[in-house]
Amino acid sequence: MSVRVTTLPSGLRIVTQDMSHLESAAIGIWVGAGSRSERDEEHGLSHLLEHMAFKGTRTRSAADIAEEIEAVGGEVNAATSVETTSYYARVLKADVPLALDILSDILRNSVFDPEELEREQHVILQEIGAALDAPEDRVYDIFAESAFPGQPIGRNILGTAETVKATASPMLDSYLDRHYRGPAMVISAAGAVDHDRLVDLAANALVDLGAEAGPEPVAATYHGGEMREDRDLMETQIMLGFQGIPYGGSDFYTAQVLSSIIGGGMSSRLFQEVREKRGLCYSIYAFHWSFADTGVFGVHAATGPEDVNELMPVIVDELERATDSITDKEVKRARAQLRAGLLMTLESPAARAGQLARQLLLFGRIIPPDELVARIEAIEASHVRELAAKIFSGAPTLASVGPVNGMMDRERIASRFGARVHG
């Protein structure tokens, strides 16, 4: 399964992985701009733009876009994240040219009709309302806001009702011109795909892309903080976190191993201690989010209000224990989980196309699976213990939604690790 990369004069990169045993292909256009690329008045624009991309171009109506791709049995969709936006399709191998034509058309020729914009704004306002009403979504938003206060990276992706309603068609065009430029874009395809043919198609379909790089996003500064929303609910959502490792950091995979050991599955420490032995919650796991220049390591738990006060000290105990008691056996198991997940990704055209695109956007090169496996296999228990001690000695971030009276605060959590918090 060979991987090939071609860069056009505009800076647009085309990467493919031939999986010739398949009859289908996953293809997409990834843009290195997401919610953290927005100006203050543009909050939520990246997500709104993703919605508007399917609402009609100079040559296709919204119905035409849907009918053309579905007439060949394909599917098309899009997604917005903090640092990227992707537009992708899954089709049979004969229909790859059609998929690329539709994707390039919606990115270069969307008309952003004011009536369509108004309708889609209404849809997103409903989405914002649903997120505010969902404690499991709301706790993520206030967690990010507390970790990175006053920064684009800490804002939710959907935007606010005020900023979404204030978005006009010219703002979408301006954002496109600034960020959807050749050096920030990757066409990635995996499956039954002809690389040379795709390069020719891309060169014709996206010939007018700007070749100069767009503006860099505002640099992230992890701060940490605490935010509580005391609501009359039957459950309490809690997130506790610390500064983590960026994608390019030497300890990136070590942080992933640490996350797996602490709360990555049914055999993890938190699941066994909190869920199985004590029955203090029905959902608990650890996570490690990475971004281009920072990261966040954390724990999410959902529990009944009556168990909140007992739950938090147990979580902190487990984090503290991780700094000096992680074993070779646990690391070996976590390495196996990471390695299996990585190799399983190679079997999915959609997952592989996304991975290839992200690697080019982040690192400027494709990292061979063997290199990634070698990095994972080199991690030892001492590395994980040292990183745990480093991460947990930093300023904590604590977010909660639901009944939280009497819950351990971030100052007490920080003191357990010998840390001090400011602000």
Q: Is residue 422 pLDDT above 70, yes or no?
A: no
My answer on whether 396 and 254 are in the same domain is: yes
pLDDT in tens, 163-210: 999 999 999 999 999 999 999 999 999 999 999 999 999 999 998 888
Residues 202, 104: Cα–Cα separation, whole Å:
8
Window from 48-52, 277-281, 298-302, 404-408 with minimum mean pLDDT: 404-408
Q: Are residues 69 and 198 in the same domain?
A: yes
| Bridging pattern class, strands 185-191 and 13-18 | parallel
- 78 & 151 share domain: yes
Helix (H) or strand (E) holding 127: helix 114-133
> Residue 100's domain is classified under what CATH number?
3.30.830.10
Average pLDDT over residues 249-271: 95
42, 50, 120, 235: the active-site residue? 50
Does residue 395 share a domain with residue 296? yes
pLDDT, mean of residues 304-327: 94
**Residue-level pLDDT at 167:** 96
d(CA 349, CA 205): 23
pLDDT of the residue at 408? 87
Domain shared by 171 and 288, yes or no: no
Q: Which tokens is 394 given?
A: 């930093």
Given a cut of 60, is residue 1 above it in pLDDT? no
pLDDT of residue 54: 93
Instruction: Answer whether residue 247 is part of any domain.
Output: yes
How many CA atoms lie within 13 Å of 145's alpha carbon, on the beta-carbon side? 15
Confidence of residue 419 (pLDDT cuts 50, 70, 90): low
pLDDT of 423 above 60: no
Q: Could you tell me the pLDDT band of residue 420, with boundaries at 50, 70 and 90?
A: low
Domain that holds residue 334: 226-416
Query: Is residue 221 one of the residues assigned to a domain?
Result: no
Average model confidence (pLDDT) across the chain: 94
Q: What pLDDT, on a 0 to 100 scale, did the predictor assign at position 211?
A: 86
Residues 355 and 342: their CA atoms lie apart, in Å, by 10
Same-domain pairing of 69 and 150:
yes
pLDDT value of position 41: 96
Q: What is the mean pLDDT of residues 112-131?
A: 95
pLDDT digits (tens, 9 = 90+) for 132-171: 999 999 999 999 999 999 999 999 999 999 999 999 999 9
Total number of domains in the chain = 2
The answer to whether 50 is a known catalytic residue is yes
Interval 263-297: pLDDT, tens? 998 999 999 999 999 999 989 999 999 999 999 99
pLDDT for the residue numbered 357: 97
The number of beta carbons lying within 10 Å of the beta carbon of residue 212 is 9
Mean pLDDT for the stretch of residues 2-30: 96
Residue 219 lies in a domain: no
Q: What residue spans of 26-95 are helical by DSSP H?
A: 45-52, 62-71
Q: Is residue 35 located within the same domain as residue 173?
A: yes
Q: Are residues 82 and 199 in the same domain?
A: yes
Residue 85 or residue 412, greater confidence: 85
Same domain, yes or no: 170 and 282: no
| Mean pLDDT, residues 232-241 | 94
Q: For 298-320, what is the HEC assignment?
A: EEEEEECHHHHHHHHHHHHHHHH
User: Is the pLDDT reported for residue 367 higher than 70?
Assistant: yes
Average confidence (pLDDT) over 28-46: 97
**pLDDT value of position 417:** 80
